[in-house]
Amino acid sequence: MNSWKTLAALPCGRRSKWVVLIGWLVVIVALSPLAMKLGDAQSNEMSSWLPGSAESTKVVEEQKDFRDNTIANANAVYHRDGGLTDADRQAITADIEAFRAIKGVTAADIKGPVYSTQEQDKGATASVEIPVAVADGGWEDLGKAVKAMKDAAKDDPSGLEHYFAGPAGIAADQSEAFQGIDGALLGITILVVIAILLLTYRSPVLWLVPLISAIFAMMAAWATVYLATKAGVTVNGQSYAVLNIMIFGAGTDYALLLIARYREELRNYEDRHEAMAHALHRAGPAIVASAATVALSMLVLLSAEMNSTQGMGPVCALGIAVGLLVMITLLPALLVIFGRWAFWPRVPHVGTEQAHADGVWVKVGNVIQKRSRTVWVVTAVILGAFAIGVTGLKADGLEFQDQFTNKPQSIKGMETAAKVFPMGAGDPLATIANSPAKDAVVAAIQNTPGVVKDSVRVNADKNGRAEIYATLTDGPDTEAARKTVDRVRDAVHPVPNADARVGGGPAMTLDMERAAQHDDKVVIPLILIAVLIVLCILLRAIIAPIILILTVILSFATALGISSLIFNHVLDYAGMDTTMPLFIFVFLVALGIDYNIFLMHRVREEAQQRGTREGSIVALAATGGVITSAGLVLAATFAVFTTMPLVTFVEMGFAVALGVLLDTFIVRSVLVTALTHDIGPKVWWPSQLAKRPETPQGDVGKAGRDRDEALV
């Protein structure tokens, strides 16, 4: 701990605080141009989202040999009740000519219009397949192209409905749903942080300090991650959004903990520099351990098969590392520079009563102190009962029509076309095989159940490899289509000398589902092991970390169980994306473990002075307020996702926000405290602290006041 005393003095010395501030100002000014480039450095091409080793991903990579860019189809679907008129057909032809001139559209490969021939439709529907080249911009390119198509078709005859469906149409609607989310997320988070700090400290000034620190951390992290992209790290839209949440959410948590401890020490020491040095000395190890846990949990994602999940690991780990550096250097310097008056009008003076001496958590602590076993048993039973709801979780993926909370153009078009055309039209299966064996591969695909036989065709033949397209009878995102993909693979893989690989939209869906199942089984246990190791090192015990890990699992299961009940029976969603349980777990455990560490590190500190049982109650009184404040910030940050029209993000935002609130208000503050109090010193086994005799306990508020008097 002597090293911490030395480090704690660096950012809060009488002169060094100005050196730290000026140093960070210089760094941010120098890094700002790099930080602003991160948005343009994102890679949203298809391969950055797919499982790295999957067969469909290899097909995407090999398709680059046939063309410069990946191709995604937009299906222009036209419909008029009662049948298309001659004027409608002329308008469709004119639209096609306009589509040919749109940037990104592969004009020579436009197919259609194809008119419906089914008797019940009476020629009321037409479909045009429009290939769109996708460069590094990914779905942003698709969004721009589809928007241009919509603009071109806006003057169609009155009464003629037109929709843009297919993979490109759906991607365009998803892209539109993401527009502005980063700014909204950041703006709402800032407002929540300001509101919570105002309510907590009743200060019109103090909120500026963590806000300025968080902005510095975000700018520095953006620049650092941008430099990492030059070394091969991939950033996509998903990891970029999560990076911002991580920096601001976790960074604000660290700021709240340090400010709370600094406020305590200002009541014990006259000199604010000395007070900050003691605050950093006491809170620093917990903050560093929290950041290390989050960073390790993120790096564990490197073991995932999904490229999008895997790529998130180093991006967020770097962000957390930079955020930690800012919060243990710049934040203390700013707090010392602002001085005690930053807390105005409730300025903490030496000898005044601690803010937590008679707070609500003191009352909760007194109840736990009297009936700790009853409290933790009842709490665990209630949480366990809600956790049973996880058995009803439907996390086997969402079909396209179930991915939106509303019904955008792409889904309306898909439903209209599906009534009269094969459901797999517009998103074909793509098989690549050696050219000499292409006829045998075509025959194998044609004879596979679930494939539209006359749709199988050689789309391109180049450099000894042939690209073969086939339309499926079922929608590309359905379970039936996924079974057809397996049948096609079973049929073409044995073809002699073909070296056939099956990809395309339906195969991607199947491979992503299987990769998500693998990641759940591998990543979740590894994260738990990483968290357990950090807790063992920090707490110098084995029993306490095991108990904390078990409460983490219970908290996660409860949040997922309640969410499942809400999604199934209140919001009536069709299910959950296969990747969501893992993401929810990562966010709840990696970020929620902060609260475990904040509480138990303080319990251990207090236990050395007054024993484990009394120390657990005093620690609750001291940290309960900051833990719940931090939880409110993090929950509000994720809750903004529920405003998006995408079911996946609504579910993630709701489940994580609920889990964080459960974690802070019930699991950490009540269940963990009651368990620690009931078990007593044995919780620190095998350290020497487990052998420390307990002292008689009294009123929690009085215990806190006695400690303050002793320190002074």
User: Who contacts 149 (Cβ-Cβ below 8 Å, separation ≥6)?
Assistant: 74, 76, 95, 99, 102, 130, 164
Q: Tell me the C-alpha distance between 658 and 678, whole Å.
A: 27
Given this model, what pLDDT does residue 681 score? 92
Q: Lowest mean pLDDT: which of 185-189, 190-194, 425-429, 609-613? A: 185-189
| Res. 702: pLDDT tops 60 | no
The C-alpha atoms of residue 90 and residue 112 are separated, in whole angstroms, by 13
Q: Which range (181-195, 226-240, 632-646) has the least confidence?
A: 181-195
Per DSSP, the three-state class of 427 is: coil
Over range 31-40, report the average pLDDT: 85
What are the tokens at 434? 């050696």
The overall average pLDDT reported for the chain is 84
Write the pLDDT tens digit of every residue in 653-692.
899 999 999 988 999 889 999 999 999 999 999 988 888 7
Tell me the H-state helices in 12-165. Answer: 16-35, 55-63, 86-100, 139-152
pLDDT of residue 332: 92
pLDDT over threshold 50, residue 709: no
In sign, the C-alpha dihedral spanning 392, 395, 401, 402 is: positive
pLDDT bracket for residue 616 (50, 70, 90): very high
pLDDT greater than 90 at residue 383: yes
Cα–Cα distances in Å, from 63 out to 69, 253, 330? 8, 46, 49
pLDDT tier at 9 (50, 70, 90 boundaries)? low
Average pLDDT over residues 110-118: 82
The H or E element containing residue 434 is strand 429-434
Return d(Cα 504, Cα 498) in angstroms, integer.
Answer: 18
Mean pLDDT value across residues 547-567: 92
The pLDDT of 338-364, averaged and rounded, is: 78
Question: Where do the domains of the chain lie, and which CATH numbers do they carry?
Answer: 1-45+180-352 (1.20.1640.10), 67-178 (3.30.70.1440), 415-510 (3.30.70)
Residue-level pLDDT at 278: 87
Is residue 583 within 8 A of residue 519, CB to CB? The reply is: no
The DSSP result for 545-601, as a single string, is HHHHHHHHHHHHHHHHHHHHHHHHHTS------TTHHHHHHHIIIIIHHHHHHHHHH
- Cβ of 64: how many Cβ atoms within 10 Å? 11
Instruction: Give the pLDDT confidence of 321-334 residue by residue, as tens digits.
Output: 999 999 999 999 99
Interval 156-209: pLDDT, tens = 888 889 999 888 888 888 777 766 666 666 677 677 777 777 777 778 888 888
Structure tokens at 368: 């736990």
What is the SS3 assignment for 76?
Answer: strand
- When pLDDT is cut at 50, 70 and 90, the band that residue 135 belongs to is low
| Greatest mean pLDDT range, 48-62, 303-317, 446-460 | 446-460
pLDDT band at 373 (very low <50, low <70, confident <90, very high): very high
**Alpha-carbon gap, residue 44 to 62, rounded angstroms:** 18
Q: Which pTM does this prediction carry?
A: 0.82
Distance in angstroms (rounded) separating the CA atoms of residues 350 and 621 = 20
Quick one: which H or E segment has residue 111? strand 111-115
314: nearest Cα among 254, 236, 248: 236
Which tokens in the block code for residue 532?
């357990």
Per-residue confidence band for 468, with pLDDT thresholds at 50, 70 and 90: very high
CA separation for the pair 23, 181 (Å, rounded): 32
> For 661-700, b where at least 16 C-beta lie within 10 A, e where not — what string?
bbbbbbbbbbbbbbbbbbbbbebbeebebbebeeeebeeb
- Cα within 13 Å of Cα(656), Cβ side: 33
Sheet holding 125-134, edge to edge: 111-115, 125-134, 70-79, 161-165
User: What was the pLDDT predicted at 347?
Assistant: 84
Q: In what order do the strands lie in the sheet with 429-434?
A: 457-462, 465-470, 429-434, 501-504
For 161, phi and psi rounded to 5 degrees? -85, 140
Cβ neighbours, 10 Å, residue 538: 22
What is the model's pLDDT at position 711?
A: 36
SS3 category, 383 = helix
The most confident of 98-112, 427-441, 618-632, by mean pLDDT: 427-441
